[in-house]
Amino acid sequence: MKAPGYRRNRKGERMKKVAIIMGSDSDLPVLKPCFEQLQTFGIPFEAHVFSAHRTPDEAARFALEAKDHGFGVLIAAAGKAAHLAGALAARTVLPVIGIPVKSATLDGMDALLSTVQMPAGLPVATVAIDGAANAAILAAQIIALDDDELYARLCRARDEMKRKVLEKDAALTID
């Protein structure tokens, strides 16, 4: 799956893409908010299915070649043993964001611990269980380090969140 289009940053360079890797296509519904957030911010992305256990060579190759293919951030979503984010982080120095996916077995705690407990030198930024929207926003913040227009869009999104909360505060009544 590929999102359309490229934008250019202030230096005239193509905006970096975000890669979203899921361990199984059953993770697709969890990732929908991620796709929507990236589209809202106009960030090009690709989604792929690679497994740290069933397709380790393909996952490793993708991570090794990601920078050369224009990616700036990798997002990895996996449940249960959830080694995908760590397997990708072991093969690239690009930022990797892990999304632990909730499973019926341990409510996602197994995935959370597998994603967050990385050895020194191989960090994986980890969002909440099923936290796909925050993974997209974090990826946008990373890419915005070199893109003033994207940075401004993120600031406007924060202002809009603030406005909505303050509206709710003003409308709050207790009987």
Residue with tokens 């191989």: 122
Q: pLDDT, tens digit, for every residue of 96-123?
A: 999 999 998 899 999 999 999 999 999 9
Does the model's pTM come out above 0.75? yes
Among residues 39, 29, 51, 32, the alpha carbon closest in space to that of 3 is found at 39
Domains of the chain are 17-171 (3.40.50.1970)
> What's the order of all strands across the beta sheet hosting 45-49?
45-49, 17-22, 71-79, 96-101, 125-126
* One-letter amino acid for residue 31 of the chain: L
pLDDT band at residue 10 using 50, 70 and 90 as cut-offs:
low
Residues 6+ apart with CB under 8 A from 37: 132, 133, 136, 137, 140
